[in-house]
Amino acid sequence: MISKEAIAGYITKSMPDADINLIDKTGMMDHYQLEIVSDVFKGMNLLDRQRSVYSALNEPMKDGRIHALEIKLRTPEE
């Protein structure tokens, strides 16, 4: 299990300008729906955007605190 605040902390370390919307989909604190709006994504294709998020969340993904993650990523202009 991992809190929304902890997830947001991991993300803001690598994307300080990120506007984060995070929903606990099951109430069990391990399945999340995540939307991030950030300038970091400018010039990145969808796969590179996803890789950047998974890289930021590597630790909790690897140790199983995050079991499932649905993500939507965009720039402020999108």
pLDDT for the residue numbered 51: 96
pLDDT for the residue numbered 37: 98
Spans of the chain below 50 pLDDT: none
Structure tokens at 65: 């605190």
pLDDT for the residue numbered 12: 96
| Cβ-based burial of 63 (10 A; exposed 0-12, middle 13-18, buried ≥19) | exposed
pTM for the whole structure: 0.90
pLDDT for the residue numbered 39: 96
Q: Which domains does the chain carry?
A: 4-69 (3.30.300.90)
In 3D space, the residue among 76, 49, 68 whose CA is nearest the CA of residue 7 turns out to be 68
What CA–CA distance (Å, rounded) separates 2 from 50? 20
Task: For residue 19, report the phi and psi dihedrals to the nearest 5 degrees.
Answer: -100, 115
